[in-house]
Chain A
């Protein structure tokens, strides 16, 4: 498959963006019925964007770093006039009157948003099985899940439908599906990418990030979408990342933490991949430091209080009054209740109840308050580790892609899928998942590189070292 870098290069040199789009649409047409990747393909908007790029190039302008590159958007990012559902019946048919900041930045860079991809409802899940519009299938093995919650966006890239896509990562929702689909996925430092227009799941954890086949493509996309946004108060006062310039700078002289808790409990094939990645980094000149960060094991419990607590508040607005689904009833309170009962799926309801309980008078200190303390400890623990090493190495997920239905009966088993990814969301730091070898059933394994806030240049360079070792 052609990389985004290559497409942008040739479109800026005069190749047709419309033709690039048509290639993308052809793959979507061929595979979407089977894989259920796109909930909505916005052909009209995509053609308009591609034609605008072609006009700009014809007029002698540089059409941008992503000129003519088709991009898929997770369906929790607002697109003006284009349905945005969060894979929930409660938002079915809603068309936002505005674009998320990332969408405007993509358009400004010449990218061509082709449509909206499937996700676990409101980004709550790790398999895309929680979508109200059916699960997405893993392009590498349609009997298996693509991971989640950004399963649609990961599958779009893995299936060659689009060279790039955007997901959102609240507890691993980019890195885990990237690992399961065999592509690159990045959870940027909290505040690096604007959340304006990203429909909130857990505001203090959510972060938009890229999916790509190559590390370089992921870098271009992150350069385009990152940088301060005055519309997001939690946006860092920093310019966009500069990643490409240091992409080949390697890991010589870097200290890498090999963290026991970031591999523990993994399948053997995953453990082997991480060990091999460590060897590659060492051969490339890095120093390996074996370490333990016991606080990381508390992450899952803290996450499943903090994220549902914020979600219970963020999802209150879906009350049937202003937009989306409304089930009429005798009075307002009954209408609210009927609408929410019909509109939300079981996992969303479970988390709203968990979160409401965790914030309730009399329970707040024991649950939410306690979770915040754990979060503070987690931040301190990472910060101690990063005082010693430049970045950490671990697994992204404990196993390769699993088959449908194997974890849906047991929420805890599903939640454990995010045990290695959640800590980075709690600390607000950066992490990247890179495909590194294969495991069971010849399915891809992802390894994870974790670094302190704004360490993306280091992480991308290290990811590039691993990628090269895989012959890519």
Chain B
């Protein structure tokens, strides 16, 4: 995307991620998505009179893991109350971290080499969920509002970037890389569609070299696609306003995915006064160094390191292979590729099969063992399966598991014996003397002609590479 000549966008992102803890942030209720409404609640997460919060130790560990992965400083921190009335907030205040967050001042390096600073990554509790029936579907004008408090008290970490992002693509790359880190730390499952990762974008524009302009905060960005579209729309809108002689008002705007535009939610003047003050029901959170070290030691490699490890397996990584590596790491398919490599398989084939076939049926991953995957890649590599056949075998493995050799046999993908292939090739050479002569004289294109005939004669069971080897031997 290009902004009009001379303009630049300045973007900072606030990413909320739900932590994958067994229980909620301040009580023992199960932290799970998609249960019967109001079935996972107790006096604490319903904010009943007299109830008190007790901080979840695992949530603190996951928050520290995020901070460590983002190169933040972990510091003694406190909790505050953010006061405002809303029906899905049982206490009519949210417990959040304010001036002293658990993680501060880090950074995230993106695959393109750029660095985005992280201002903070703090802990807070999620609210319940309101469904408005009738009217516009928003709270005003609704006939009824139903509240489900299952999500109330679910632990969140809010990760606030510096205003370092300059293009929608970079914003997307940042969100994708952050998502990878959240998954790698075990903090989140990164499922944007279930709301376990939600993004707000602060967008302003300026003439290159000018100071920052007035920013607008865009809410409701629930996919990477929404993120890039909304930022682009908003930057262009702001430029239009300024070029028409207007000024940008600081405000919160809502992204409408269907209309593809942002609209005013509330202006700065209408902004709530949250009356933050120190939460008197909780004490200071000061994780001792030994605890921080245990979390640090328990962390596996982050996506950037994992991409580098995979790339190092290739002697001369090609762009398509680097793309495949990105997909493999993004989907956490590294184990398959490493298993194939250790089994002596070709890494390029393994990458391609993982990034395409496994990625296409990611939920089938549970059925596919790394060893079955490696075996399939090896069969393809040795010519025992054609590429098409290997893809089919992988598809079957992803659907229902099993042994690749047995699947190939059941599918009739038995290896065409070398003798049988030699006989077929010999017969076809005799039947097509002119083409054979031209091939012998160096017209390599005719190899495809013979492969086609072999495939036809063997009903696709031959391996293309094996046919070429046979032809070359006779040349």
Chain A contacts to B: CB under 8 angstroms:
76-78, 84, 86, 91, 94, 96-98, 100, 195-200, 202-204, 230-234, 309-310, 312-313, 316-317, 319, 321-323, 331-333, 336, 356, 359-361, 364, 368
Contacts and interface: CB of A to CB of B under 8 A. Distances in A.
B93 interface: yes
A333 B86 CA distance: 8
Contact of A356 (B139, B275, B280): B275
Contacts of B47: 317, 322
Given A317-B91, A323-B48, A331 B140 contact: yes
A322 B130 CA distance: 13
B393 to A, nearest CB: 55
B54 A233 contact: yes
Given A76-B50, A233-B55, 19 more contacts: A84-B50, A98-B50, A100-B50, A200-B49, A233-B52, A233-B53, A233-B281, A233-B283, A234-B281, A234-B283, A313-B275, A317-B49, A331-B139, A332-B87, A359-B275, A359-B276, A359-B277, A361-B273, A368-B277
Contacts of B426: none
Contacts of B52: 195-196, 231-233
B147 interface: yes
A94 B50 CA distance: 13
Interface residues of B toward A: which range? Answer: 20 to 34
B155 interface: no
Contacts of A197: 50-51
Interface in B53-83: 53-55, 81, 83
Contacts of A310: 277, 280
Interface of B: 43, 46-55, 81, 83, 85, 87, 90-93, 139-140, 145, 147, 273, 275-277, 280-283
A42 to B, nearest CB: 17
Contact of A78 (B49, B91, B139, B281): B49
Contacts of A323: 48
Given A234-B280, A332-B139, A356-B275, A196 B93 contact: no
Contact of A91 (B49, B273, B276, B281): B49
A233 B81 CA distance: 16
A77 B50 CA distance: 7
Contacts of A312: 83, 275
Contacts of B87: 319, 321, 332
B54 A231 contact: yes
Contacts of B43: 96-98
6 closest residue pairs by CB, A with B: A316-B92, A203-B280, A204-B280, A359-B275, A199-B49, A197-B50
B85 A316 contact: yes
A360 B275 contact: yes
Nearest to A197: B50
A84 B50 CA distance: 10
A59 B280 CA distance: 45
Contacts of A76: 50
Nearest to B274: A361
Contacts of B48: 78, 96-98, 323
Nearest to B145: A332
Contacts of A100: 50
Contacts of A233: 52-55, 281-283
A149 B283 CA distance: 27
Contacts of B51: 98, 196-197
Given A233-B55, A332-B87, A198 B277 contact: no
Contact of A359 (B83, B85, B140, B281): B83
Nearest to A98: B43
14 contacts: A78-B49, A98-B50, A195-B52, A200-B49, A202-B280, A233-B54, A233-B281, A313-B81, A319-B85, A323-B48, A332-B87, A359-B83, A359-B275, A360-B275
Contacts of A359: 83, 275-277
A468 to B, nearest CB: 38
Contact of A203 (B140, B273, B281): B281
A136 B82 CA distance: 37
Nearest to A361: B273
Contacts of A199: 49-50
